[in-house]
Structures are given as structure tokens and as C-alpha cells.
């Protein structure tokens, strides 16, 4: 049964006479405290916050004066006291509460300013277990939640970015804060503690290697409100989880208009794909459209890789996302800007390259400072009606797999290199996925079809179109290799690839009809390699 409410109406305007300030992040603290003091508000504080306020020449009462009890245990216990929480939770228009506050000499607190120990930052820093635990704030969340629950009488400020709006509201309301304003502050406070607790519980699950904890929480901080989502009638916002994996969320935007929902989704897909390619081995370019690659290539230079990637499907590349595994240079920038492109993302960019891109005012240029680690563990989340699907990141890398030749003919060294290349790309193509590759470049991509044979045919058809556009006598699928993200359930998909000109195939294997597929490959003199690992992507 729920806890019954007394249905005491909350006042609209509550005068702010006493404020409790206890913050770890002291950004803007002194100016805010000065403004509160100038408005005649009594300041109460704790530990380092009280010291900073006093050193600024402001009058401040230590919280121990309210509690009659000193801070103990290295400051772990200071606000966890009835004189503090009674001051925060007391319903002032409830006679019983008012009597308890009077009898126990509890002075009401009208405004609380609190932010938390930097648990998320300490966790990301690689600190040891004990240090991470020590940075789990207890008193702060308790005080924040108490204040937020009793927003009928108490205003809770958890973000220094809100200091200005609080002061403005106090001025507008002659020293009071409205109920609507207090509600908004409370909503933000509960969201903050929820995100904080999500980070803590997530860390514990990771540290204790609990793959599927009974309760799972995810949190993030709003980075930007977007014009719309996938479509103009959908609202959207971009939230940052705090994960420092190089990518669109952590990149610095050097120029261009605000990223859209689709831009962010596609840019993430592009950079994750290009992260599969070691920049020490070769330059690599990935061109993405609607979260699928329309061209991927390696080359001696970014310019050379871009030309090969663009040749795969120049029509689809129009308005796409271009990602690369090396610092963007001027030569590559000059080529990329010749085709209308929405976003360029790279580990970095030379000043000359940035200047070239700057001539295209709407083109976004992002520098990520590094590449995502394709082998790193992680978690992906997808919402469904009534729940969340949570899984570990697909961090299988073809170079780490035990490849098994299952046909009479083994692939040549050149074919094997292209097979590995194609399988890297297939990992990032929506299923069902078929990727033709030749000379470390995609030459045909079939994505997202209900039938694998359809993906194979579409990829071959697109290769024909690209050949016609380039004035070639035959499509580049002639003499190519082909990768499939999952097994061929029948030989028809393989036969379609052979018809397109493929000479070698890489696929996971594991079908009930593997023997039929292998026999078809042997009949046509095709080399086939099994990876034992599937790369479905939906």
C-alpha cells in the first residue's frame, strides 16, 4: 500500500531566508554566495565550502552550529543529522511537523546548493577500487533527494549553470521562489542523483563481472536539444553518458551547423567502422549513408583511399558522412569537398585541411583525438516497448579469429587480405549484409535485406551501376572476393556472388547446409573461408 498523503496545498511563493551550501564543484560558488548574502539570505555551509566562503569575506555558519555535532570520519558524517534533514523535510504547514521542528529547535532551510563527489570522473581516470569507492557521495544525494522531495518548501540547486536563473528568480519575486520553479529544480535534482546512482551501479556490475545485474540503470547529461529526430515530427535530444570512447560524443566540432539526430547516428557508425583499420598499416576511409557504408577503402594516403571508397557507390555518397583513421590532410580535404558531404570526422585535422573545409560553411568537421578501439569491451542498449535490450559490444576482430579454409582451393595471399578487409566492413553493414571487395576497397555492398541472396544481387547491381558511371568495361566485382555477415542458408546466395565475379568467400559457417554450399564453391573453383563468428547488425 502506498504511503498516504495529507494533501496539504503547497504555497506558490516561498521566501528564501536561509541557504545551505555544500558543493564539490566550486565553479561560480563565491559570486553566487555573495549575491545570496547581498539579498539578506543567511549562509550555512560545510567543510571546504564553508572555508571558501569565509575566505571570500562572507559571513557563514558552519553546519555543526545547526547540528551541535562536529564533522567526523574525514567529513563522511556532517549533514546526516535530524537538524539538517528535519530542516529539509519538514512540511511547514503541517501542525505536527511544525511542532517537531519547534520542539527540537530545527531551523528551516529554504535553499540547498549541492553537487556531488566526482565519482564518474574518478572512475574514468583508472583509479583503484578504494579510491573509486571513497568518491561515492552519500550525504550529498541524501540532502539533494530530501530537498527535492520537499520542493513544496525547499529549492534544490545541483548545477552551477542554474545559479544565474536562481538569482534572477529571487530578484523577480522579491526574495522568494515560485512553486513552478522549485518543481523544475527538483526534477533536475532527481535526474542528477539517478544518473549518479546509475554510474555507481554500472561500475559495481563491471568490477564484479556481473554480466546481467537484476536492476540495470543508464544515465546521461543533455548535450543538445535538436531541431527534430529522425523525422521532423519527432522531438530529439542528445545525451552524453560520460564514456570517453573516441567518437561523435567526445569529438570537438571545428565548424559547421549543429549536428542533427541522423548526422550523429551516421557519424557514429562511420567512425566505429573506420576504427577497424590500423592507421599504422594504411590510411582508411569510410563513407556512410543512413548508417550503412556505401564505400570503404584502404590506401597509401587518405586521398587515394577516398577515391577508391567513392568509386564503390558515388551516387549514394552524395550527402554522406566521411570518416577516416588518420589526421585529415589538405590533399584529402580538397577531394572530399568536391562532393556534397554532411560531416567529416577524423582523429585530427591539419590547419590547412581545416581551412579548406571552412570554405563549405555548412559542412561539419569533427576531430575526435583518437580512434575507437574495435577490441574494447562495452555495452550497447536498444529500447523496445516496455523494456531495454542490453548486450555486450561486438568486439570480435577478424585478425583475432581462427580462419578455416573449407574448400579444395585455398585463397591466395591477395584474396585472403581482401577477405579480411571485406569481413571487417561486413561487421558494420546492416543485416543481411554482403560485401564485395577488391584491392582493399569495397566494390559492391548489399545491406538490410530480408534475403541474403537479395543482398548479394543488390550489391552486384550497384557494382554494375558504379562501373557504368566510371566508364568501365565490366564491374569491379569481377575478380573480387565476397563477405557475408552470417552463413549462407542455401547455395543460391553464393551462386549469385559467383555470377557477379567473386573468386573467394568469407562467411561464419554453421548452416545445416554448409556441405551443399561448400560443394557449390568447389564445383566453381571458389575458395571459401569460415570465421566461426557471426556479425548480425540490426
C-beta neighbour count of 3 within 10 angstroms: 4
CA distance 135 to 121: 9
Single out the catalytic residue among 81, 149, 360, 478.
149
Catalytic (active site) residue 51: no
Q: Report yes or no: 440 and 418 within 8 Å, Cβ to Cβ.
A: yes
Strands (E), 184-319: 221-225, 237-240, 252-255, 283-289, 292-299
CA–CA distance from 518 to each of 76, 420, 426, 482, 489 (Å)?
A: 67, 19, 20, 15, 12
Cβ distance 292 to 448 under 8 Å?
Answer: yes
Spatial separation of the C-alpha atoms in residues 131 and 73, rounded to whole Å: 16
Q: Is 149 a catalytic residue?
A: yes
Burial annotation 458-477 (CB, 10 A radius, 16+ → b, else e): bbbebbbbbbeeeeeeebbb
Helix, coil or strand: residue 501: coil
List the catalytic residue out of 184, 290, 478, 524.
290
Classify 258 as helix, strand or coil. coil
CB-based contact 455:434 (threshold 8 Å): yes
SS3 14: strand
Cα-based distances in Å from 250 to 185, 240, 328, 344: 27, 9, 18, 14
Active site residue ranges: 149, 290
Amino acid at each position: 500500500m502506498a504511503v498516504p498523503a495529507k494533501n496539504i496545498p503547497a504555497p506558490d511563493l516561498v521566501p528564501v531566508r536561509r541557504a545551505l551550501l555544500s558543493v564539490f564543484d566550486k565553479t561560480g560558488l563565491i559570486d553566487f554566495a555573495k549575491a545570496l548574502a547581498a539579498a539578506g539570505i543567511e549562509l550555512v555551509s560545510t567543510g571546504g565550502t564553508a572555508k571558501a566562503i569565509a575566505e571570500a569575506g562572507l559571513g557563514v555558519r558552519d553546519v555543526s552550529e545547526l547540528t551541535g555535532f562536529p564533522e567526523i570520519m574525514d567529513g563522511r558524517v556532517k549533514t546526516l543529522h535530524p537538524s539538517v534533514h528535519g530542516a529539509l523535510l519538514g512540511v511547514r504547514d503541517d501542525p505536527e511537523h511544525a511542532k517537531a521542528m519547534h520542539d527540537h529547535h530545527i531551523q528551516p532551510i529554504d535553499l540547498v546548493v549541492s553537487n556531488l563527489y566526482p565519482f564518474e570522473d574518478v572512475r574514468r581516470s583508472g583509479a583503484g577500487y578504494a579510491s573509486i569507492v571513497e568518491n561515492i557521495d552519500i550525504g550529498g544525494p541524501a540532502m539533494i533527494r530530501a530537498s527535492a522531495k520537499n520542493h513544496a518548501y525547499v529549492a534544490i540547486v545541483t548545477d552551477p549553470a542554474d545559479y544565474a536563473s536562481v538569482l534572477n528568480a529571487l530578484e523577480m519575486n522579491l526574495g522568494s521562489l515560485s512553486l513552478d520553479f522549485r518543481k523544475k529544480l527538483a526534477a533536475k535534482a532527481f535526474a542528477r542523483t539517478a544518473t549518479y546512482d546509475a554510474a555507481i551501479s554500472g561500475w559495481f556490475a563491471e568490477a564484479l563481472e556481473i554480466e546481467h545485474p537484476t536492476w540495470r540503470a543508464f544515465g546521461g547529461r543533455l548535450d543538445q536539444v535538436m531541431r527534430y529526430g529522425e523525422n521532423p515530427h519527432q522531438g530529439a535530444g542528445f545525451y552524453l553518458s560520460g564514456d570517453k570512447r573516441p567518437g561523435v560524443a567526445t569529438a570537438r566540432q571545428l565548424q559547421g551547423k549543429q549536428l542533427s539526430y541522423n548526422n550523429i547516428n551516421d557519424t557514429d557508425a562511420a567512425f566505429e567502422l573506420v576504427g577497424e583499420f590500423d592507421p599504422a598499416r594504411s590510411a582508411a576511409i569510410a563513407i556512410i549513408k543512413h548508417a550503412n557504408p556505401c564505400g570503404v577503402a584502404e590506401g597509401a594516403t587518405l586521398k587515394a583511399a577516398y577515391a577508391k571508397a567513392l568509386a564503390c557507390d558515388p551516387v549514394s555518397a552524395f550527402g554522406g558522412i566521411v570518416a577516416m583513421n588518420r589526421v585529415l590532410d589538405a590533399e584529402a580535404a580538397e577531394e572530399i569537398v568536391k562532393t556534397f558531404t554532411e560531416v567529416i570526422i577524423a582523429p585530427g585535422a591539419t590547419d590547412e585541411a581545416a581551412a579548406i573545409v571552412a570554405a563549405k560553411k555548412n559542412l561539419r568537421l569533427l576531430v575526435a583525438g583518437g580512434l575507437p578501439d574495435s577490441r574494447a569491451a562495452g555495452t550497447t542498449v536498444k529500447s523496445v516497448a516496455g523494456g531495454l535490450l542490453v548486450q555486450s559490444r561486438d568486439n570480435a576482430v577478424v585478425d583475432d579469429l581462427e580462419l578455416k579454409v573449407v574448400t579444395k582451393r585455398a585463397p591466395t595471399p591477395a584474396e585472403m587480405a581482401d577477405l579480411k578487409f571485406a569481413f571487417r566492413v561486413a561487421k558494420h553493414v546492416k543485416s543481411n549484409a554482403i560485401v564485395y571487395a577488391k584491392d582493399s576497397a569495397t566494390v559492391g555492398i548489399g545491406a538490410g535485406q530480408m534475403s541474403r541472396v537479395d543482398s548479394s544481387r543488390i550489391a552486384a547491381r550497384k557494382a554494375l551501376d558504379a562501373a557504368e558511371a566510371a566508364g568501365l568495361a565490366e564491374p569491379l566485382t569481377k575478380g573480387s572476393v565476397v563477405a557475408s555477415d552470417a552463413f549462407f542458408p542455401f547455395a543460391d546466395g553464393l551462386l549469385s556472388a559467383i555470377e557477379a565475379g567473386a573468386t573467394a568467400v568469407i562467411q561464419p559457417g554453421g548452416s545445416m547446409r554448409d556441405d551443399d554450399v561448400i560443394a557449390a564453391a568447389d564445383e566453381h573453383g571458389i575458395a571459401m573461408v569460415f570465421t566461426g563468428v557471426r556479425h548480425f547488425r540490426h
